Amino acid sequence: MHGSTELTGDLDLLWDGTPEQAHALRSALAAAGCTDLPDLGRPQVAYQVASAGGDLCTPALPWGGMDTASCLTRAVSTRDPEGFTIRYAALDDLIHMRRALGRPKDRRRADELARLRP
């Protein structure tokens, strides 16, 4: 949602990992055309729908010692024209997440995101 000059080719999603949200996420994946529903009992799983694919991650996934659960409470919200709520990581949280992972591509992305700050 914050944009990038680097094409990643996937859409990674952070969700809370609760059974209630697993049910909702499973329904959303099926509605989006996912024919091979992933095991949502793991901290990170791959998914593929008709127009996107990536990883589904929960706060249980190690993020270089970062507590990502708090990112969910600070998520930014917007609505699409039909009223569907879309939540995405706040810019500072996304920068922190990238730096916590520490891979070269994540450090580049964190620097790029930092330049978006007002």
Residue 49 sits in which domain range?
10-61
Confidence band (pLDDT; 50, 70, 90) for 39? Answer: very high
Establish if 5 belongs to a structural domain: no
pLDDT given for residue 3 in this prediction:
65
* Alpha carbon distance 31, 92 (integer Å): 31
pLDDT given for residue 74 in this prediction:
93
What is the residue-averaged pLDDT of the chain?
Answer: 89
Establish if 4 belongs to a structural domain: no
How does pLDDT run across 48-65, given as a tens digit for each residue? 998 889 999 999 988 888
pLDDT given for residue 51 in this prediction:
83
Q: Residue 100: exposed, middle, or buried by beta-carbon count in 10 A (0-12, 13-18, 19+)?
A: middle
Query: In one letter, which amino acid is 72?
Result: L
Percent of the chain with pLDDT over 70: 96
Confidence band (pLDDT; 50, 70, 90) for 112? Answer: very high
* Same domain? 69 vs 43: no
34's CB contacts (< 8 A; 6+ apart) are 47, 48, 49
How does pLDDT run across 62-91, given as a tens digit for each residue? 888 888 999 999 999 999 888 888 888 999
pLDDT given for residue 35 in this prediction:
87
* Residue 92 region by backbone torsions, left for phi larger than 0, else alpha for psi between -120 and 50, else beta: alpha
pLDDT given for residue 63 in this prediction:
84
* Same domain? 32 vs 22: yes
Query: In one letter, which amino acid is 113?
Result: L
* Same domain? 75 vs 37: no
Long-range contacts of 25-28 (CB under 8 A, 24+ apart): 25/56
pTM: 0.81
**Do residues 59 and 77 touch, judged by C-beta distance below 8 A?**
no
